[in-house]
Amino acid sequence: MTATIIDGKAVSQEIKEEVKVLTEKLNREHGITPGLAFILVGDNPASQVYVKNKAKACESLGFYSLTEKMPEDTSEEKVLAKIDEFNQDDRIHGILVQMPLPKQISEYRIIEAIHPSKDVDGLHPFNIGLFSAAKAWDEIMEKRLLLPCTPYGMMVLLDKYGIEVTGKRAVVVGRSNLGGKPTAMLLLSKNATVTIAHSRTANLAAVCREADILVAVIGKPLFIKKEFIKPGAAVLDVGINRTDGGLVGDVDFEAAKEVAGWITPVPGGVGAMTISMLMRNTLMAAEKKAGEINSKYETLNSKQTPKPEIQNAKKYDLEERTESFSKRVIDFVNDVPKDIVDSEIIKQLVRSSGSVGANYIEANESLSRKDYFMRAKISRKEAKETRYWLRLIKCNPAQEEERSALIQEATELMKILGAIITKSGGK
């Protein structure tokens, strides 16, 4: 067997294009340009390259960015003061302090000083707490939580390549706060059964061989051998190791690709996703600032966000409104190519009802498109259903005016429904 090579570069490019379009929209509709500030302390050559590449990405996407360079012997207080300045600056929606930092500076204190709403690296304990406490991936997406960029990128790759996570055995080798731990939490939120392995794990090869999804976040060149891999598994290699032979990952790629079902190369795999996810997080932080998105997180953190008007949203009004909205959407999506509509519906069904949805689809392959709609509409009173409509609307490139009107209606409905669901404890 030869594995499918997961092309992180291509997916990353796709995300950047999406971010660029949404950045233009945010700018056009709200006059807001996403802003990202970098703090680079010292002259570590690798850090300089990383910051330069991130700043370049900002420029190509139309972001505002600035880099504060500080000498190697800068005190922790000075870095904290700079962070505070950026926390107050309305042009800045994201702050990134490039790690590693010189010895006199505590990375933990630095991360903690960044305002959680500007923590686009997703490393602040508050943000880690939020996504760790979320029940499931859908909730994380719905609340638009800021996730650590590299683990988030991995989840996007699994999704883009249609790799099933629910019910699968996942083994993450590495337990760092930046790598292994958040990756494990995100896999858990997607219903994998997760094991975290580390340097003290006994029988590591055997533990890894159990994995349908194997993630290596170790920092040891070519450490994961062919024998560690279950045939057909998805292997995600986060390691970046500079060797005399060039850049290599933690996985012995050449041998592993003969056994794995999917595998990420190094370079061009997981690492290629990190910058795009950083850009996506920064855009999201700016969108939240624009008050476009409603979520529990936002009402906690952004005083400027208008509260949804739920007091007037009587039940029957809502039912009527969602009913008429659904009809408009059905008419509208009629020109979307059938395969796109069907795949969106299938994704939604699987998401909303898990294996029940999947079995339903399997047993009813002959269902007509209308029947799919009828089935999908069953849960339309839930906010996630409106999200599904929203995705369908976005699939149709035609009829710009109606599309904008529908998106606006979907967004408003999501706010009202989301607020009601939150208020009633998710019931």
198 lies in the site for ligand NAP, by CB under 6 A = yes
217 lies in the site for ligand NAP, by CB under 6 A = yes
- Cβ of residue 175: shortest distance to ligand NAP, in angstroms? 4
For ligand NAP, which residue of 219, 346, 369, 421 counts as binding (CB under 6 A)? 219
- Cβ of residue 157: shortest distance to ligand NAP, in angstroms? 12
| CA–CA separation, 160 and 13 (whole Å) | 13
* Residue 241, beta-bridge partner list: 248
DSSP β-ladder status, 246-248 and 234-237:
unpaired
| CA–CA separation, 156 and 180 (whole Å) | 16
| CA–CA separation, 158 and 161 (whole Å) | 5
173 lies in the site for ligand NAP, by CB under 6 A = yes
For ligand NAP, which residue of 239, 265, 308, 418 counts as binding (CB under 6 A)? 239
* Closest by Cα among 271, 296, 11, 287 to 131: 296
Residues 258-277, one symbol each (x = binds ligand NAP by CB under 6 A, - = not), give ------------xx--x---
241 lies in the site for ligand NAP, by CB under 6 A = yes
Identify whether 226 is a catalytic site residue.
Answer: no
Catalytic residue among 7, 54, 118, 252: 54
- Cβ of residue 99: shortest distance to ligand NAP, in angstroms? 9
| CA–CA separation, 13 and 137 (whole Å) | 23
Binding positions for ligand NAP, 295-324, rule CB under 6 A: none
For ligand NAP, which residue of 95, 165, 218, 235 counts as binding (CB under 6 A)? 218
Identify whether 121 is a catalytic site residue.
Answer: yes
Q: Which stretch binds ligand NAP (CB under 6 A): 111-119, 154-162, 191-199, 359-367?
A: 191-199
N-term to C-term CA, the chain: 46
Q: Give catalytic residues, as residue numbers.
A: 54, 98, 121
Q: Which residues bind ligand NAP (CB under 6 A)?
A: 150, 173-176, 178-180, 197-201, 204, 217-220, 238-241, 270-271, 274
